[in-house]
Structure 1
Amino acid sequence: MTIRVLLVDDQSLLRLGFRALLEQQPDLDVVGEAGNGAEAVTMTRALRPDVVLMDVRMPAMDGIEATRQIVAAGGDARILVLTTFDLDEYVFAALRAGASGFLLKDATPADLLAGIRVVASGDAAVAPAVTRRLIEAFAHHLPTSTGRSPVDERLDQLTERERQVLGELARGRTNAEIAARLFVSEATVKVHVGRILAKLELRDRVQVVVFAYENGLVDPEQGGQGGRHGG
């Protein structure tokens, strides 16, 4: 199946380079280019791409606000954010807005192509190890153990086992690591992850991490290395 990609970057030469790379791939089709976030929102609505390759810093509307609007519109497009700086504040804001992953602009062509395909498949293009670093780098942006917002009532739908899996996901652990810690099979973990996403109305594992921290299921001060489960 062909993956339809929209390129969003205010630098035309970068878009040209991305297009040249992607058009060499038989399963990728560049359906359009946008030079800013406002154009990205409009073109996503009109072209219905599977993946939007989104720059962050752009005129008129930045990639974070564009991501927020695209996700809020409820379409199927997945957002893969490109950034110059590893784990900067813009990356975290984009993930909270609904992006399914991020890559550095100096990523290898192989990493870029893999990221597009992973996001298109419904997974998050943020490796568990990177998720851990994300948690550690941005714990201070998240609610602390005091003054938390009210816990999302959707959590009441989760079973005790699903809450345990949710806590492990929030710490950036892989399915294999979760299976070993909970003494279940990886297949069972995958089933639990799918149910968690459905019940909490979340798009992918990155959104699970953000949700878990915002609802106090893991203590941000512990940076993903422990914490409490919600009761």
Structure 2
Amino acid sequence: MINILLVDDQEIVREGIKMILSLDEEINIIGEAENGRELMSFLEKQIPDVILMDVRMPVMDGVEATKLVKEQYKDVKVIILTTFTEDEYIFKGIKNGADGYILKDAGSEDIIKAIKTAYNGNILLNPEVAAKIVKAYKSISTEKQNLDKYKTQKYKLDLLTKREMDVAKLVAEGKSNKDICKVLFLSEGTVKNYVTKIFEKLQLNSRTELAVFISQIQLY
């Protein structure tokens, strides 16, 4: 059973999502919150497996809440609920460790798939959102001396050992640690250690951020 916490300041949105999730017997909604502050108070009493997080909320928005969750409850998965126009929130959310993004108007199957994908340790970015992120990052790089930024990123990538690079590429493809074990014939503990070292060397915070990092390098 996957325990879910819904965080959105609009009750009608929460009710709609609850109706969608009730269709799947493997998903259990354990609570709701209207903003990031309520979320953090809830987590003091009960820890969900996955948080569905709106980005625009009063008191504390989803970006700041994601950062706090990842700092204090690193094993909890956070999926950002977003619209197609909230670029700034998307970029900041990635930096703060969000595990995935789903558009608010996505179908029931897509939302359920996003939850299960994140729960299993994989990356799920809506194709439209992913394309938007990469395009925007490329644009930002062009405006701010893209060559220097590329050199810096390439230098960081060169710090990885061959095996770490193999693991990094598989993580960027959305593979879970268990999947990587099977591909590279490594133990799950070894893969976990590799992932930790990769994050440290590249100064990243999440698998999603690593996927974007690899995508940026491949653009040049």
Give the TM-score category using the shorter length.
Answer: 0.7 to 0.9
Shift of 1:187: 1.5
Q: How does 1:58-207 map to 2 (within 5 A)?
A: 58-85=57-84, 88-126=87-125, 131=130, 133-141=132-140, 144-146=146-148, 156=159, 158-163=160-165, 166=168, 168=169, 187-188=183-184, 196-201=194-199, 205-207=207-209
> How far did 1:188 drift?
2.9
**CA positional deviation for 1:128:** 7.4
Unaligned runs of 5+ in 1: 176-185, 227-231
8 Å contact from structure 2 (residues 84, 129) kept in 1: no
SS at match of 1:145: helix
1:130 shift after superposition: 5.5
Q: Does 75-84 or 51-60 show the bigger shift?
A: 75-84
Q: Which residue of 2 aligns with 1:229?
A: none
Indicate which of 203, 206, 225 corresponds to 2:219: 225
Give the CA deviation at 1:89: 2.1
Mark the CA change 1:210 to 1:44 in structure 2 (over 3 Å): closer, same or farther.
farther
Give the aligned partner of residue 13 of structure 1: 12
TM-score between the two structures when normalised by the length of structure 1: 0.72
Q: 1:209 aligns with which of 202, 208, 211?
A: 211
What is aligned with 1:51?
A: 50
In structure 2, runs of 5+ residues without a counterpart are 176-181
Q: Is the 8 A contact 1:197 1:204 kept in 2?
A: no
Q: Which moved more, 1:46-55 or 1:21-30?
A: 21-30
| Matched-pair contact (CA < 8 Å) for 1:82–1:104 | yes
Report the CA distance between 1:162 and its aligned residue.
Answer: 3.0
CA displacement 1:107-128 (0-9 Å, x = unmatched): 0000000000100111111267
**Contact 2:122/2:174, CA 8 A, preserved across alignment:** no
Number of the residue aligned with 1:25? 24
1:34 aligned onto 2:30: no
Q: Classify 1:212/1:59 alpha carbon distance in 2 versus 1 (closer, same or farther; 3 Å).
A: same
CA distance in structure 1 between the aligned counterparts of 2:105 and 2:7, rounded to whole angstroms: 16
| TM-score for both structures, normalised by structure 2 | 0.75
CA RMSD of aligned residues (A): 3.6
Percent of aligned positions that are identical: 32
Kept in 1, the 8 Å contact 2:95–2:205? The answer is no
Shift in Å, 1:139: 2.8
Q: What is the CA deviation profile of residues 22-59 of structure 1, one whole-angstrom value per residue up to 9, with x for unaligned ones? A: 12321111010000111122223422000000000010
In the aligned structure 2, how far is the partner of 1:174 from the partner of 1:34?
29
Please identify which structure carries the higher helix content: 2
